[in-house]
Amino acid sequence: MTDGTKKPEELLKLDYTPPKKGWMETPVDFKKGTYCYSAPQKHQEYLGLPYPRQWQPFDKDWKLPENWKQIILDGMSDRLNKYRSFRLYMDICVRCGACADKCHFFIGTGDPKNMPVLRAELLRSVYRKYFTLGGKLFGKMGGARELTEDVLKEWFYYFYQCTECRRCSVFCPYGIDTCEITMMARDLLSLVGLNVGWVVEPVSNCFRTGNHLGIPPHAFKDTLDFAIDEVADLTGIKVDASINRKGAELLFITPSADYFASPHWYTFLGYLMLFHEIGLDYTWSAYASEGGNFGLFHSAEMMKRLNAKMYAEAKRLGVKWILGGECGHMWRVVHQYMNTANGPADFLEEPVSPITGTKFDNAKATKMVHICEFTSDLIKNNKLKLDPSRNDHWKMTFHDSCNPARAMGLLEEPRYIIKHVCNNFYEMPENTIREYTFCCGSGAGLGSDENIEMRLRGGLPRANAVKFVKEKHGVNLLTCICAIDRAVLPTLLQYWVPGVEVSGLHELVGNALLMKGEKERETDMRGTPFKQKES
Amino acid sequence: MSAVYLAFGIIIPYAALFIFVVGLVYRVVRWARSPVPFRIPTTCGQQKSLPWIKSKKIENPYNTAGVVARMALEVLAFRSLLRNTKTELKQGIQKLIYKDSKLLWLAAFVFHWTLLIILLRHLRLFVEPIPGFVISIQRLDGILHILLPNLYITDILIVLALGYLLFRRAASAQLRYISLFSDYFAVLLLLSVTLSGIFMRFIFRVDLVSVKELALGVLSFHPSIPADAIGLAFYVHLFLVCTLFAYLPYSKMVHMAGVFLSPTRNLANNSRMRRHINPWDYPVKVHTYKEWEDEFREHIRESGLPLEKE
């Protein structure tokens, strides 16, 4: 937690009444703690981004290229012709307001420009001015306004204050998806060299080294060896794991945070234990060592550039299909974009579980299976020996991550696993789970330290629901299947609901898993003693 | 005087119809010409994955039948609005509460359906002989049997619904803040169309036989102003209707066509089952394995990992 952060009581003093002055007349105010810094120039240059330069949002002069306005307008025109979603969502909103109080940033800030409808109007007003007759004729009366530098700054502020979680789109009668609009806006901003560091730096790292954290292959090898040792200490079993091994049956890809951050680490150990136990013939890759894809938070092109490695590596290694780990936006890319952007994967086989023989028909074209689909199938077919009581020291709840929930529908698979690996599971209130789940508030590249106040605000609805189950059932663990969640929720929960830890799902699988020939385990992976069985 | 009748009875209606048709076609073609590069359905339920997990076939459709059902629910029952809640923060106990909030759904549902029924009732003025279903609708709609002429249920409901929608927009500070002039204009226009129709029926009576004569003439492209005067109220009503039709394709009311094209609703969630093509896909600069190995070769060798090129 950064010092000088406001107390929860202060942050909760929220007023949802909008100001008297109209939104078009209210310029953006870059308050410390509520926005992300720009990207270091070297990373912009490495990726070949347009107009690389040093600038910061708090600078008065953003050093925009001279013809920035034309670049943006041309870019808009281009994207209006490329994306039906964009053109349609610019035209059909009726401003019914159903989305207004569905956004975690609006709930946590009360800032009217965080109502999804108004966030979109920031862009729509410019669309009307330059691309519609009504806007040209009636100007402000027709909801249109000039594109000025202030408008551009406002875009930067508010489109990097949207986590592309798609919750508003569930409630919209026309399915208008602010995520689509935010993606377009960020893409446009990038055309004139406006990017945030927390997106561009990981992207640049990932492009070069293969993962967001910038871990080179030898360090990846070291960390894997370290993990193998740790599993051996815990279970007495030396697990098999290989990197870049040709001829393996499967390639396993997970977010790099899983093997370098905490509490992700325990999920990493869980994977190693599970794969060893079932005798899976699989390999890790140091070249495609990232499941996540921060390119998605930049532009469709950048998403494609990073994602290309998955298929390329699967082809090079000659595996049959790809298994993917726990991650949110990674699965947005894999599920909805990968095969279109980088397919067809005709060099891979339709996925079949080598352990159970189950055909994953739902992934027969993309040829990549979610670990929760894979593990729930193992459990269903009685391939795992599990002792859920080894997770009895946890009273847990499950946080549906935005993308698996609203861009995939992976809801029951993780719950099925949970019910088999632990005994104390409590759901959060209905309006905050499954397709109604609330974002962690730090997704889509907003998880930087300098943005902490906004993240805490955005995380309020999620944390509030956790608080509810904590008070009602004594919940002390939130488990989730997203690496960004695991990175940011510990901070947010420590702030809003102290006493609730965060874990990945396969950490709990690892705890419960009875491995052949394992020594008597006394603690879980974190070193916490198992709860004594009442006899 | 006849020039005025000619303008309001024949020329303006033709012009409005023309603007409506051209505008609507233009809008739909414009949307349709922008491709859908990626499948982006918003999934609102369990996906189809393993055979023993029950999937939500409508809220998260994986095939065309599911999509049709989802769209039908969306268009006919306003499914998504039915989810609406109202978020409240109870400061004292620091709790967020989500209350059911179905009034917006109710008003929207009542407004759109009554509008459809009223439009269908109007068919009696455009078709001869009057189809049986139109007579049935009219009979059902007037089942209350109060007032003379018979008061239609839809007339009451549509005014109530529009009144609520207007009131809601004006009364809530949040909605006022997001509202544009055109948002008020649309609902006021609809209200004035409705009210002018109701006034015409109950206060400023018009000659319906002549109205039908005019309507049939216009529709058969042999327009003529009936010999018997219809009544001024009719021309007021007709003009407002013409305004509505001409304005519709250029306003937010064009959502009536747009909703069918929304990619978050009208696509099946099957992108891992079937490959979808992006028509404007282009090659991008990637970092190849070779480039990667070249940069890290020494480290890879030292750590004992396999190399393509020693």
Asked if residue A236 and residue A173 are part of one domain, the reply reads: no
- What is residue B86's predicted lDDT score, i.e. its pLDDT? 95
Distance between first and last Cα of chain A: 42
Shortest Cα distance, chain A CAs vs residue B26, angstroms: 13
- What is residue A534's predicted lDDT score, i.e. its pLDDT? 57
- Inside any domain, residue B174: no
- Inside any domain, residue A45: no
**Which band of pLDDT confidence, cut at 50, 70 and 90, is reported for residue A66?**
very high
Asked if residue A387 and residue A325 are part of one domain, the reply reads: yes
Asked if residue A180 and residue A246 are part of one domain, the reply reads: no
**Which band of pLDDT confidence, cut at 50, 70 and 90, is reported for residue A1?**
very low
- Chain A touched by B273 (CB under 8 Å): yes
Nearest to residue A391, comparing CAs of A221, A528, A496?
Answer: A528
Contacting residues for A90 by C-beta, under 8 A, at least 6 apart: A80, A123, A124, A127, A131
Residue by residue, DSSP assigns B190-254 as HHHHHHHHHHHHHTS---HHHHHHHHHHHHTT-----SS---HHHHHHHHHHHHHHHHGGGSGGG
Q: Is the CB of residue A351 less than 8 Å from the CB of residue A360?
A: yes
Give dist(CA A272, CA A277) in Å, integer: 9
Q: Is the CB of residue A228 less than 8 Å from the CB of residue A239?
A: yes
- What is residue B46's predicted lDDT score, i.e. its pLDDT? 98
Helices (H), A172-261: 178-191, 197-209, 217-235
Nearest to residue A264, comparing CAs of A239, A282, A290?
Answer: A290
Nearest to residue A164, comparing CAs of A478, A442, A431?
Answer: A442
Asked if residue A223 and residue A165 are part of one domain, the reply reads: no
Asked if residue A405 and residue A327 are part of one domain, the reply reads: yes
If you average pLDDT over residues A281-300, what whole number do you get?
A: 97
A439: phi then psi, degrees, rounded to nearest 5? -65, 155
Contacting residues for A92 by C-beta, under 8 A, at least 6 apart: A174, A176, B252, B254, B255, B258, B259, B262
- Inside any domain, residue A532: no
- Of A149, A169, A194, the position where a domain reaches its end is A194
User: What's the CA angle centered on B116, arms B113 and B121, to 5 degrees?
Assistant: 125
Q: Do the bridges between strand B95-100 and strand B85-90 make them parallel or antiparallel, or are there none, so unpaired?
A: antiparallel
C-alpha to C-alpha distances, A255 to A9, A217, A321, A343, A447, nearest whole angstrom: 35, 15, 18, 21, 15
- Inside any domain, residue A43: no
- Inside any domain, residue A319: yes
- Of A194, A216, A234, the position where a domain reaches its end is A194
Q: Do B46 and A80 touch (CB under 8 A)?
A: no
**Which band of pLDDT confidence, cut at 50, 70 and 90, is reported for residue B1?**
low
A30: phi then psi, degrees, rounded to nearest 5? -80, 90
- DSSP letter assigned to residue A324: E
Residue of chain A whose Cα is closest to the Cα of B256: A92
Quote the domain boundaries for residue B199.
2-101+180-302
Number of structural domains found in chain A:
2
- Chain A touched by B80 (CB under 8 Å): yes
For testing the chain A interface, which of B24, B26, B50 should be mutated: the one with the most A CBs within 10 Å? B50
- Inside any domain, residue B200: yes
Q: Do B59 and A435 touch (CB under 8 A)?
A: yes
- Inside any domain, residue B272: yes
In single-letter form, the type of residue at position A304 comes to: K
Does position B123 have pLDDT exceeding 90, yes or no? yes
B200-225: pLDDT as tens digits: 999 988 989 999 999 999 999 999 88
Q: Do the bridges between strand A250-253 and strand B95-100 make them parallel or antiparallel, or are there none, so unpaired?
A: unpaired
Q: Do A218 and B49 touch (CB under 8 A)?
A: no
Asked if residue A259 and residue A227 are part of one domain, the reply reads: yes
Asked if residue A140 and residue A224 are part of one domain, the reply reads: no
Asked if residue A180 and residue A302 are part of one domain, the reply reads: no
- Inside any domain, residue A2: no
- Inside any domain, residue B294: yes
B137-190: pLDDT as tens digits: 999 999 988 888 889 999 999 999 999 999 999 999 999 999 999 999 999 999
Q: Do B49 and A208 touch (CB under 8 A)?
A: no
For testing the chain B interface, which of A329, A336, A457, A496 should be mutated: the one with the most B CBs within 10 Å? A336
Mean pLDDT rounded to a whole number for chain B: 95
**Packing angle between helix B153-171 and helix B103-121, nearest 10 degrees?**
140
Give per-residue burial for B270-286: e unless 16+ CB within 10 Å, then b. bbbbebbebeeeeebeb
Asked if residue A279 and residue A143 are part of one domain, the reply reads: no
Q: B280: helix, coil or strand?
A: coil
> Which residue did the predictor score with more confidence, A142 or B25?
B25
Number of structural domains found in chain B:
1
Does position B292 have pLDDT exceeding 50, yes or no? yes
Q: How many residues would you count in chain B?
A: 310
Residue by residue, DSSP assigns A290-311 as ----GGGGT-HHHHHHHHHHHH
Q: A400: helix, coil or strand?
A: coil
A369: phi then psi, degrees, rounded to nearest 5? -115, 140
Q: B127: helix, coil or strand?
A: coil
**Which band of pLDDT confidence, cut at 50, 70 and 90, is reported for residue A3?**
low
What CATH number is associated with residue B56?
Answer: 1.20.950
Nearest to residue B137, comparing CAs of B124, B121, B149, B125?
Answer: B121
Residue of chain A whose Cα is closest to the Cα of B101: A98
Q: Do the bridges between strand A250-253 and strand A282-283 make them parallel or antiparallel, or are there none, so unpaired?
A: parallel
- Inside any domain, residue A521: no
Give dist(CA A305, CA A485) in Å, integer: 24
Shortest Cα distance, chain B CAs vs residue A513, angstroms: 22
- Inside any domain, residue B165: no
> Among A259-263, A435-439, A502-506, which is the least confidently predicted range?
A259-263
Quote the domain boundaries for residue A183.
11-30+50-194
% of chain B surpassing 70 pLDDT: 100
Mean pLDDT rounded to a whole number for chain A: 96
**Which band of pLDDT confidence, cut at 50, 70 and 90, is reported for residue B227?**
confident
- Inside any domain, residue B87: yes
If you average pLDDT over residues B5-29, what whole number do you get?
A: 95
A324-357: pLDDT as tens digits: 999 999 999 999 999 999 999 999 999 999 999 9
- Of A194, A229, A263, the position where a domain reaches its end is A194
Peptide bond into A344 cis (omega under 30): yes
If you average pLDDT over residues A117-136, what whole number do you get?
A: 96
C-alpha to C-alpha distances, A383 to A275, A278, A483, nearest whole angstrom: 12, 8, 27
Contact list, B274 vs chain A (CB under 8 Å): 365
Q: Do A408 and B80 touch (CB under 8 A)?
A: no
Question: Could you count the other beta carbons within 10 Å of the beta carbon of residue B142?
Answer: 18
**Which band of pLDDT confidence, cut at 50, 70 and 90, is reported for residue B289?**
very high
Report the run of H or E that residue B26 belongs to, with start and end.
helix B12-33
- Inside any domain, residue B237: yes
- Inside any domain, residue A18: yes
B44-74: pLDDT as tens digits: 999 999 999 999 999 999 999 999 999 999 9
Give dist(CA A129, CA B186) in Å, integer: 20
- Chain A touched by B19 (CB under 8 Å): no
Give dist(CA A315, CA A318) in Å, integer: 5
**Maximum Cα–Cα distance for chain B, whole Å?**
101
- Chain A touched by B109 (CB under 8 Å): no
Return residues 33-52 of B near A (CB < 8 Å).
33-50, 52
Shortest Cα distance, chain A CAs vs residue B89, angstroms: 8
Beta bridge partners of A369: A323
Does position A396 have pLDDT exceeding 50, yes or no? yes
Contacting residues for A301 by C-beta, under 8 A, at least 6 apart: A295, B284
Nearest to residue A8, comparing CAs of A493, A497, A501, A496?
Answer: A496
Shortest Cα distance, chain B CAs vs residue A35, angstroms: 23
Burial class (CB in 10 A: 0-12, 13-18, 19+), A471: exposed
Asked if residue A460 and residue A500 are part of one domain, the reply reads: yes
> Which residue did the predictor score with more confidence, A400 or B92?
A400
Contact list, A412 vs chain B (CB under 8 Å): 46, 53-54
Q: Do A343 and B83 touch (CB under 8 A)?
A: no
Q: Is the CB of residue A306 less than 8 Å from the CB of residue A203?
A: yes
- Inside any domain, residue B289: yes
**Which band of pLDDT confidence, cut at 50, 70 and 90, is reported for residue B92?**
confident
Three-state SS sequence of A438-453: CCCCCCCCCCCHHHHH
Give dist(CA A40, CA B139) in Å, integer: 73
Asked if residue A407 and residue A310 are part of one domain, the reply reads: yes
A241-272: pLDDT as tens digits: 999 999 999 999 999 999 999 999 999 999 99
Asked if residue A371 and residue A293 are part of one domain, the reply reads: yes
- What is residue A533's predicted lDDT score, i.e. its pLDDT? 66
- What is residue A172's predicted lDDT score, i.e. its pLDDT? 98
Tell me the residue ranges of DSSP E strands in A337-473: 368-370, 396-399
Nearest to residue A354, comparing CAs of A315, A320, A384?
Answer: A320
- Inside any domain, residue A522: no
- What is residue A6's predicted lDDT score, i.e. its pLDDT? 87
A196: phi then psi, degrees, rounded to nearest 5? -105, 150
- Chain A touched by B170 (CB under 8 Å): no
Token pair in block for residue B234: 């009719």
